[in-house]
Chain A
């Protein structure tokens, strides 16, 4: 389905989003929905995901400011919410699916789109708000008794959080489907992180859900061929973050808004090891390098040096990767 709408339609929608023209956006969506049976899918599975990708690119390229990006995703969320409300409400007795954004993940639109797809197929979706902690997820699982848990993650830096959630859900004997940009284009990363299955598209989660093996093997059988350095990084996480904040200052360590802080780079390093993909780290460094032109951000080299200093010597691969990725990204350490 993805990619079927003409680019001009998506561009038109993005322009309306850029002007904060909610009425105009709704009008365009209304036309698509009215155009036929696949209209809902065209909006949820094609128009909105593609538009938000463009919005993300514009934000990354600093063409759009944070407020514009906020307004755009707000409008999309409200449109999806309205469309969902117009669907038939699921009966209490139908199978439930808990949909959660990974810990640290603030983009919840994919979760809502997945919910819409499930509801169209007579599931009862329970969407947990953005950035769900493992303990919030457990509480929701205990309450909803779902047939499956879906974990959405778009930023690689949030994959460590996603992994905690996947393992937590498996502990409750519930199958987990992972999806979102951070998991890439194949099931590999999802499998590596322990997920029962991988969803290529949020809207089509229902397809997968129906064929999912209901049995969840005990965690002892979970084959997580994860790099041993991850264990070292996890064990030293609090001292690493503490040291980063001493070297960079608290604001540059946390820096949730610019996405350029020390913690971001640290999480991306963990994600790169989880995915066995050094490119993730390279791209993050390039991105942080770009960010450093913005007011108030530190040069990527300063952050990378601090992280290198904070990581224990025993995590030799992690250190080597950081070093190589920095030189590949043109960041001089």
Chain B
């Protein structure tokens, strides 16, 4: 190296030092590491204070980065070549800085290092970068937490909706609601449901996350009583007014003198603009955030809708029950010498209003009338017609005491009705005498009765007649049979014989076989047999209204 190049190299090193880049050399043979003042400055050392050993260099590196540095330099020191590495250094005063080092090590053919040299500079930008990264990480954590909270809120609303969607019972809605609130949103909850007249107050459901639930129906629960149920006398301080169960808009309250402050949130339950009750949720030691209040209010809106639907259903049920009771006798009367049973299953289970009717009642002369009928049409209109027909038929039967005359009178009555009800019917007058029963039957467009005389011994009691409510000149026949002891007669609607398995009808034949196979059993067992056989036959498929009445002479 000439003097001139030496001087150029020196000025380059000076210039590098000016911009904070230090240079170093390593003489493996002598075991000496030489740092210029700029390198010492990067490592936070005073000029000339670096001891000049590899170990001294390693000691300045941040403990977490040391292994990586040893690994990278170690590799280059055996293979030869260039390296570049970023790591932290710990200044003697404890300050941590990022630096970048680049170097080259030459080795001989046996892998022994011959010479090493390189540069090192401070990564001042890195400090800013780390700070920004820390901020980003923090905000990402916040976003994650927000997302998790949103998911939890969504999950809560989905669960609440699912938990109350299938129920049409106000108390179950309240129980499910209170369970979810006390499980996820608050430690205690009171749901007080009051409905408009004529329903009046309905019930109060209180629940606690660890103390379980309690429902009081019929009378309103006062706030002290409700909170006593919870085991936490919320109003002990007098600061929680009774009116908290009567709020018109969402309200908050805090009770401080309890062990662990209690935060109360009250929300009115509103259905179509009317307040039907209140939900009060209590948190212990945890205030209601805006989000949690919104969630509670959303839950209350859903619950209020469910209460309203349940109440509408209850109302409809009463209505249906009234119709149902009117259309079918609750219990069949006990008739001496006659074992009687009926099975009726309306086609539409949910409304349970069918177009079939049956009735059994005494006649003034001591005989009994058995009636089975089938109204044309379905649902509430058919049920109304069934009730009309049953009443008119009773009146006609009591007046005439004769099956054919009863049908005639009923036909005339129906023709005068503006809604033109039409029906088919079988009417049987039964007169039990000692050991026998005289059975006199007429039908109107209806399947004729079956007579069961013994095991596999049955036949149709052939009789015909015109459907009711159609013509002013109906034709009716009558057939009389004296039932011996043990014999039965079955009256039924075509729902029985027209039950289908695929496209095959159950039919009169199978009905007769089923009845005659179990002929010696009670009337109740016989109708049960037919019902179970048809059940197996229809294999769970929806059927029409199904009505079967069996009268067995007991002798």
Contacts and interface: CB of A to CB of B under 8 A. Distances in A.
Interface stretch (B171-179, B190-198, B245-253): B171-179
Contacts, number: 120
Contacts of B535: 104, 106, 131, 256
Interface stretch (A168-176, A195-203, A269-277): A168-176
A224 interface: no
Given A74-B524, A133-B349, A161-B540, A217 B163 contact: yes
B284 interface: no
Contact of B533 (A172, A217, A256, A263): A256
Interface string B437-474: 00000000000000000000000000000000000000
B72 to A, nearest CB: 53
Contacts of A288: none
Interface in B389-433: none
A173 B173 contact: yes
Interface stretch (B101-109, B221-229, B267-275, B513-521): B513-521
A254 to B, nearest CB: 5
Interface stretch (A54-62, A64-72, A304-312): A64-72
A110 to B, nearest CB: 16
B175 A219 contact: no
A135 B183 CA distance: 31
Contact of B528 (A130, A142, A217): A130
A103 interface: yes
A127 interface: no
A59 to B, nearest CB: 13
A103 B531 CA distance: 12
Given A131-B532, A256-B537, A174 B167 contact: yes
A136 interface: yes
For the residues of B in contact with A, the DSSP-based class is helix
Contact of A142 (B217, B313, B539): B313
Contacts of A216: 163, 176
A214 B164 CA distance: 13
- Chain A: interface residue count, which band? 35 or more
Interface in B518-548: 518, 520-522, 524-525, 528-529, 531-533, 535-537, 539-540
B504 A135 contact: no
Interface of B: 158-159, 162-164, 166-173, 175-176, 179-180, 183, 213, 217-218, 313, 317, 321, 349-350, 352, 501-502, 504, 514, 517-518, 520-522, 524-525, 528-529, 531-533, 535-537, 539-540
A172 B172 contact: yes
B317 A142 contact: yes
A214 B177 CA distance: 11
A219 B514 CA distance: 41
Given A172-B172, A250-B502, A139 B540 contact: no
A143 B518 contact: no
B349 A138 contact: yes
A254 B350 contact: no
B501 A255 contact: no
Contact of B167 (A143, A173, A256): A173
Interface of A: 66-67, 70-71, 74, 93, 103-104, 106, 130-131, 133, 135-136, 138-139, 141-143, 145, 161, 171-174, 214-220, 241-242, 245, 250, 253-257, 261, 263
Contacts of B514: 257
A119 to B, nearest CB: 19
Contacts of A241: 502, 539
Contact of A173 (B176, B321, B502): B176
Most buried by B among A103, A136, A141, A142: A142
Given A145-B172, A250-B501, A256-B532, 17 more contacts: A67-B520, A67-B521, A74-B525, A93-B218, A130-B528, A135-B349, A138-B349, A141-B169, A172-B169, A172-B172, A173-B166, A215-B179, A216-B176, A254-B536, A256-B535, A257-B514, A263-B536
B537 A254 contact: yes
Contacts of B213: 214
Nearest to B536: A256
A255 B536 contact: yes
18 contacts: A70-B522, A71-B521, A104-B536, A106-B528, A130-B531, A142-B317, A142-B350, A145-B172, A172-B169, A173-B169, A173-B173, A173-B176, A218-B158, A218-B162, A245-B501, A256-B536, A257-B514, A263-B536
A215 B529 CA distance: 39
A255 B501 CA distance: 12
A130 B169 contact: no
Contacts of B162: 218-220
Contacts of A131: 531-532, 535
Contact of A133 (B158, B167, B520, B540): B540
Contacts of A106: 528, 532, 535
Nearest to B172: A173
Given A74-B525, A254-B539, A256-B535, A142 B169 contact: yes
B292 to A, nearest CB: 20
A171 B171 CA distance: 15
Contacts of B163: 173, 215-218
B528 A174 contact: no
Closest 3 CB pairs of A and B: A256-B536, A218-B162, A215-B179
A263 B539 contact: yes
